[in-house]
Amino acid sequence: MFDVRKQHSKAPLAGGDWSAEVADLYRTYGNWVVAFIARRFGREVAEDLAQETFLRLAQNPIDWRSPKALLARIALNAAQDHLRREQAQKRPRLVAGEDVPEGISLPDQHETLLHREVVAKLPRNLRDVYILSRFGGLTYADIATHLGISVKTVEKRMTQALKLCMARYRG
């Protein structure tokens, strides 16, 4: 097996320079890595992630016994990082920057803390629906699928959550 954490401490493989070794690996396994990624994450990102895989390998030389296993691990890590970045871009921003529409003011720290406190005090079933809708940006259908409940139940819970929030803000 290979040790992904072990840095390449001796001269590069075959006595050559490491970038030449990576280039050889790319020529040998490049198409395999693209196909490996495409089967799991789709053709549209496969080539970019394959390139990222070989860039990571070039930046962090590693001793290995099985090049395919090493490349598969690096490719999966690159794909996971890609998916995390994609998810982060889809998440609504809680703190806006300079692009706040005219006439809209950002909540101050007190309002933000009050809102968090009110949401935290909601019953768990209502809080889950509220958070997935307001902060997760999910549709009622997505929430229903995620929680394993009907869309009608999501609607009822959201209505109850909003009523409780309003009552607590007024009280």
In this prediction the pTM is: 0.46
**Distance, CA of 131 to CA of 22 (rounded, Å):** 46
Record: fold of 109-170: Arc Repressor Mutant, subunit A (1.10.10)
Chain mean pLDDT for the chain: 79
> What is the percentage of the chain residues whose pLDDT exceeds 70?
77
Residue 100 near residue 141 (C-beta atoms within 8 A): no
Record: fold of 13-90: Rna Polymerase Sigma Factor; Chain: A (1.10.1740)
If we measure between CA atoms, which residue out of 57, 8, 7, 9 comes closest to residue 30?
Answer: 57
Domain boundaries, the chain: 13-90, 109-170
45 pLDDT more than 70 = yes
Q: Please give the torsion angle defined by the CA atoms of residues 24, 29, 30 and 33, in that order, rounded to the nearest 10 degrees.
A: -150
Q: Which amino acid is at 43?
A: R
Query: In this structure, what are the phi and psi dihedrals at residue 67, rounded to the nearest 5 degrees?
Result: -60, -40
Which strand (E) or helix (H) includes residue 60?
none
In this predicted model, what pLDDT tens digit does every residue of 54-64 receive, in sequence order?
888 888 777 77
